[in-house]
A = this chain, B = another copy of it.
Amino acid sequence: MSELKNYHMSAEDFRRYGKEMIDWIADYYERIEQYPVLSRVKPGEIKAALAAAAPVAGEDFGEIIKGLEDTIMPGVTHWQSPRFHAYFPANASGPAILGDLLSAGLGIQGMLWSTSPACTELETQVLDWLIDPLGLPEKFRSTNRGGGVLQDSASSAVLCALLAARERDSGLQTNKTGGNGRQVAYCSTQTHSSLEKAMGIAGLGRDNLRQIEVDENFALDVGKLRERIDLDKAAGLRPVFVCATLGTTSSNAMDPVAAIGKICAEENLWFHIDGAMSGTAAICPEYHYLHDGVEYADSYCFNPHKWMFTNFDCSCFWVADRSALINALSILPEYLLNEATESGAVFDYRDWQVPLGRRFRALKLWFVLRYYGVEGLQYHIRRHIELTKLLIDRIEADENFDLVAPAPLNLICFRHRGNDDLNKKIMDELNESGEIFLTHTKLNDRFVIRFCVGQSRTEEEHIKQAWRLITATAARLRGEVTLDE
């Protein structure tokens, strides 16, 4: 940002275009409901409309901003729309956006404590902050033997947990000499696919993941877990890791954490808990119960980038024994040696994650916690759960629709009576309308529509309108499609 004519953006231009970009974003939020929620472009359309080659001469930044509406926006699926109810939310907020902006502006790289102590220590402190409001165990605190770290996603967190488990079990032997194909891990049939992916990545083998059956509420069946562990031990295999989920992706099922934790304690298995979306709810005292049994966990993860108004990516990951994690992931070459590291008085977070480099991600989480305060976050979580109840009441009162799983928080799984084709058709037409975006799953082999409430700006009117749209679409399609199962 020198003033010289040297291709860099001048300070003056940065101020000017930066403010234009801020206004562009504010305008975007004001017009966000005018876009179809799910992008309507066809494969290849966006790419084809872009220049065929990188420009040789630079372009004016004002023109670049002006062009965004035509080049990029048709290809955006609007995760920040109050009518986005697909997957899980990735809700954002003003303070979080400005935290990411500050992180980009400072441009620091926090791989080591010494490469910006604030990046490490703010992160450590903010993760300590969250322990009390969420009702997490004291052992996760950095001042005890544990500690928290930000990962890019729950996928990376579960991979790190699995690696720590693998190494704790093998006495660091797997790190040295490679996998032996005999370490096994456990989850339920409803656990997020990232664990199966992590089993492959970690060289443990996807076939060595036991996907335990679930009960009628889609929660892990502890008896079956117990049986399977015994079977594997009898077969000479080494059980090393169990993952429980608080709020499964498909249906928001809650695994029986305490019962699983007791088995892990008896068997000395690494116990990881994935509370990716639903963990946020525990910030309200009335949902603290979600974390009952977390005291058994070796590691725990939830994503402020899902339901806590903190832009993706921001995944909180705690461990009870940080040395187990660091032992699994640490490498110390000469060019990264420094006094602070050698003293042992600091955390070097590159030893708590897969990549070496890291951004100053804690800023956005810090801004969110300070701007909203714990009570502001509680207010919105409670509102989202109330809004969900509003829709549940309507579904339950309508003879054409059925809830197909418990909906303890902000995710509803429902079906129209009739076959899968009709339900898929209802969902597809709703999504094509551009008015709303929903996704599906399968439960007991049947197609189920998922409706998740968690977007920052979703209000009562959006829910009522969604229900009108769902019932009208269903009524129209009932005339066209057979209802036979």
Contact = CB atoms under 8 A, between A and B. Distances in A.
Given A47-B124, A58-B370, A178 B180 contact: yes
A175 to B, nearest CB: 4
Interface stretch (A151-159, A254-262, A317-325, A399-407): A151-159
A232 B304 CA distance: 47
B101 A331 contact: no
Q: For the complex formed by this chain, how many copies does it contain in all?
A: 2
Interface in A5-25: 6-9, 11, 13-15, 17-19, 21-25
B30 A26 contact: no
Interface stretch (A264-272, A289-297, A340-348): A340-348
Contacts of A471: none
A482 interface: no
Given A1-B94, A26-B11, A354-B354, A108 B54 contact: no
Task: Classify chain A's interface size.
Answer: 35 or more
A188 to B, nearest CB: 13
A338 B480 CA distance: 23
Nearest to A28: B105
Contacts of A18: 19, 22, 25-26, 94, 97-98, 101
A412 interface: no
Given A15-B22, A28-B106, A370-B59, A8 B53 contact: no
B43 A197 contact: no
Contacts of A340: 43
B203 A179 contact: yes
Contacts of A208: 177-178
Interface in A125-175: 125-126, 129-130, 132-133, 152-153, 155-156, 159, 163, 166, 174-175
A112 to B, nearest CB: 9
Nearest to A106: B76
10 contacts: A15-B22, A38-B114, A75-B118, A80-B108, A97-B104, A176-B205, A177-B205, A178-B207, A197-B329, A201-B201
Given A43-B345, A177-B181, 18 more contacts: A17-B94, A50-B121, A61-B371, A77-B115, A100-B103, A100-B104, A152-B152, A153-B356, A156-B355, A163-B201, A176-B207, A178-B179, A178-B203, A180-B180, A193-B333, A194-B331, A338-B439, A354-B354
